[in-house]
Amino acid sequence: MAKKSRLGKGLGALISESSTINTKSVQESISNGNIAEIDIDKIDINPFQPRLKFEEDALNDLRASIKELGIIQPITLRKLKDNKFQLISGERRLRASKMAGLKKIPAFIREANDQEMLEFALVENIQREDLNSIEIAITYKRLMDECKLTQEKLSERTAKRRSTVANYLRLLTLSPEIQAGLRAKKITMGHARALISVEDPQEQLKVFYQAVSGELSVRKTEEIVKEINTPKFKKTKKNPYKVLDNNYKSFQSNLSEKFSAKIDLKIANSGKGKGKLVINFKSEEELQKIIEMMGK
């Protein structure tokens, strides 16, 4: 008897058939890396879960998908005492499965301590597509601080370049106001990376407000920041008078001695023979004395 054609059965049926999950006992799953069917009411959520908000519309979409197609990707659990389990990853799938009315859920069972639980949760969180740049930066920081990872180790665990990790971490040096603007998508990460190199907080905010107002592209922001960071040298005015040679210095000295007053002799650099001769006096008596001497 010929096999029935699979055509016309619908996408849901095809996916369900092609994604059948072979489940084993819990003990076999722990030892062999297989999948077990676990009662949903025996699963506690991950206390280290960094994600606090789950979009209701996305959960409803996932619930509808699970009702039609079942669980395509198993969740991951660790076994606790008294036949209880704790979620390592897959909280969205677990929540949507509860909404769909499932009593059991396929799960990988693995051994993990609290430190590993935290790391699993943070790494899974950072792989989400809907995270903003600051959320990613904060997760990287938590992985380094709480899981004792260096930037190099963090790069390996998250499959990101070390320079990428460093660029995200540097965002946390920005002022809270700019970080909030980045979270709210008022500016892009390109704008933020440019602003990092502005040391003066007031200048930094000034450029930030320009970017928020829509006046600045990333490239224009980079140009402004480069201009801010370029040292500005004050132009010194060129001395219009030349340095006196020995003959003029001798003449100036002789005049000072003759009039018992300070004499300033200035010879212009113009080469046209211009200049000035200034006789300084400190009192009217000194002036009268100079006038008398000049009259002789």
For residue 79, the SS3 value is: strand
Active-site entry in 91, 119, 124, 135? 91
Residue 205 near residue 177 (C-beta atoms within 8 A): yes
DSSP assignment letter at 81 = S
Alpha-carbon span 207 to 195, nearest angstrom:
8
Backbone angles phi, psi at 171, to 5 degrees: -60, -25
Q: Where are the beta strands (DSSP E) in the chain?
A: 35-39, 43-44, 75-79, 85-89, 104-109, 263-267, 275-279
Say whether 37 is catalytic.
Answer: no
Q: Where are the alpha helices (DSSP H) in 114-234?
A: 114-126, 133-146, 151-158, 162-170, 176-183, 189-196, 201-212, 218-229
Task: Please check whether residue 71 is in contact with residue 37, taking contact to mean a CB–CB distance below 8 angstroms.
Answer: no
Handedness of CA 152, 155, 161, 167 (dihedral sign): negative
Q: How far is CA 128 from each of CA 124, 125, 131, 165, rounded to the nearest angstrom? A: 7, 6, 6, 16
Query: How many residues in total does the chain contain?
Result: 296
Active site residues per annotation: 91
